[in-house]
């Protein structure tokens, strides 16, 4: 097996540990050998700034494995990838999608948000809504100044 194949592996996420941001990955090319819990790399890791992200069970995970561990131990999940079996949800722009159907989409200067549950906006300062076009408000019931 080449050095690159030992260091960079792809497999299927089989378990997630949210409390420590880790997951287990099964490697089909190694007779479905399952890794130990691998830390999931992210962007930012403080309580005040960061991008909290976990893969979903069944996602294709790309892993960087420690070169001195030939079995299932040390390494990191560096991300997930799309494939022919799991194609991107939508091409173009940028889209953030959650398992419950909530989505935030940026395409050609437009921003679209779909929320599967309640939407609460909390501001410690003023909130200003402005538009150069029409503002539409539609709801079962609209309450102001309560």
Calpha distance 105→92 (Å, rounded): 10
Strands of 72-145, DSSP E: 75-80, 94-97, 103-107, 110-114
Q: Provide the CB-side half-sphere exposure for 138 (13 A, CA).
A: 2
pLDDT digits (tens, 9 = 90+) for 112-141: 999 999 999 999 999 999 999 999 999 999
Structure-token pair, residue 37 = 């819990």
Calpha distance 33→29 (Å, rounded): 8
Band of pLDDT at residue 3, cut at 50, 70 and 90: low
Q: Which residue has the higher pLDDT, 84 or 28?
A: 28
Calpha distance 115→97 (Å, rounded): 10
pLDDT of residue 2: 59
In this predicted structure, the answer to whether residue 52 has a pLDDT above a threshold of 50 is yes
Average pLDDT (42-60) is 79
Structure-token pair, residue 112 = 């679209």
Calpha distance 54→67 (Å, rounded): 24
The full set of domains in the chain, from first to last, is: 3-80 (2.40.50.230), 88-123 (no CATH)
Name the nearest CA neighbour of 24 among 32, 12, 41.
12
pLDDT of residue 139: 92
pLDDT digits (tens, 9 = 90+) for 73-101: 689 999 998 877 777 766 677 888 887 88
In this predicted structure, the answer to whether residue 71 has a pLDDT above a threshold of 60 is no
């Amino acid at each position: 097996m080449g050095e690159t194949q030992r260091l960079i592996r792809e497999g299927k996420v089989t378990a997630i540990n949210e409390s420590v941001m880790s997951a287990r990955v099964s490697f089909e090319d190694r007779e479905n050998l399952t890794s130990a819990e691998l830390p999931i790399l992210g962007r930012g890791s403080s309580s005040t700034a960061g991008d909290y992200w976990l893969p979903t069970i069944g996602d294709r995970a790309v892993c960087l494995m420690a070169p001195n561990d030939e079995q299932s131990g040390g390494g990191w999940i560096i991300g997930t990838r799309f494939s022919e079996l799991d194609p991107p949800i939508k091409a173009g722009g940028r889209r953030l999608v959650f398992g419950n159907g909530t989505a935030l989409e940026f395409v050609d200067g437009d921003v679209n948000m779909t929320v599967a549950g309640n939407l609460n906006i909390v501001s410690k300062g003023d909130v200003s809504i402005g538009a150069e076009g029409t503002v539409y408000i539609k709801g079962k019931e609209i309450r102001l100044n309560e």
